[in-house]
Amino acid sequence: MRQLAQGPAVFWTSDALAAISGTTAPLLQQGSHGCLALRLYGNTLHWGGVVGNRSITLAASQPKQGWNFSVSDRQKPPDFDNASLLEVHGARADLILGTLLSRQIIQEPLESQYGVNQAIRSRLALSPFSLRLQQQTKGAYRAGLQFQAPLPGGADAWTSVFDRVSSRLEERGFQRSTPKPSPSPSPSQTPTSKQDKDKKTDAVIWKDQRGGQNKIVGGWRWLQKPGTLPLLSAGLASLPDSKPFYQTLPVATDSALKLHARPRNLVALGLMNGAWPVLLKQADSLHLQIKPAIVSANLKTSGQQAWWEISGQLVLSSAADPSEDSD
Instruction: Sort 224 into a burial class: Cβ within 10 Å, 0-12 / 13-18 / 19+.
Output: middle
Main-chain phi, psi angles of 87, to 5 degrees: -135, 135
- Judge contact between 63 and 309, C-beta under 8 A: yes
Indicate whether 261 belongs to any domain. no
CA dist., res. 270 & res. 251, Å (int): 36
CA dist., res. 218 & res. 208, Å (int): 10
| Consecutive H or E run containing 106 | helix 104-114
Indicate whether 295 belongs to any domain. yes
Residue-level pLDDT at 59: 62
Indicate whether 130 belongs to any domain. no
Main-chain phi, psi angles of 301, to 5 degrees: -105, 10
Q: What is the pLDDT of residues 9-33, one digit of tens each?
A: 888 999 999 999 988 888 898 889 9
Q: In which band, very low, low, confident or very high, does the pLDDT at 213 lie, cut at 50, 70 and 90?
A: confident
Residue-level pLDDT at 221: 96
Residue-level pLDDT at 240: 96
- Judge contact between 17 and 24, C-beta under 8 A: no
Indicate whether 304 belongs to any domain. yes
| Consecutive H or E run containing 259 | strand 257-261
Of the listed ranges 94-98, 139-143, 145-149, 305-309, the one predicted with least confidence: 305-309
Indicate whether 118 belongs to any domain. no
Indicate whether 17 belongs to any domain. yes
Q: Please work out, in degrees rounded to the nearest 5, the angle formed at the alpha carbon of residue 315 by the alpha carbons of 313 and 92.
A: 40
Could you tell me the pTM of the whole model?
Answer: 0.84
Main-chain phi, psi angles of 72, to 5 degrees: -65, -25
Indicate whether 132 belongs to any domain. no
Q: Is the dihedral of CA 90, 253, 153, 177 positive or negative?
A: positive
CA dist., res. 96 & res. 87, Å (int): 13
Residue-level pLDDT at 293: 81
CA dist., res. 216 & res. 271, Å (int): 19
Residue 92 CA, chain-centre distance (Å), reads 10
Indicate whether 99 belongs to any domain. no
26: containing domain: 1-91+272-327
CA dist., res. 325 & res. 164, Å (int): 56
Q: What is the pLDDT of residues 30-48, one digit of tens each?
A: 889 988 889 888 899 999 9
CA dist., res. 90 & res. 129, Å (int): 5
* Domain count along the chain: 1
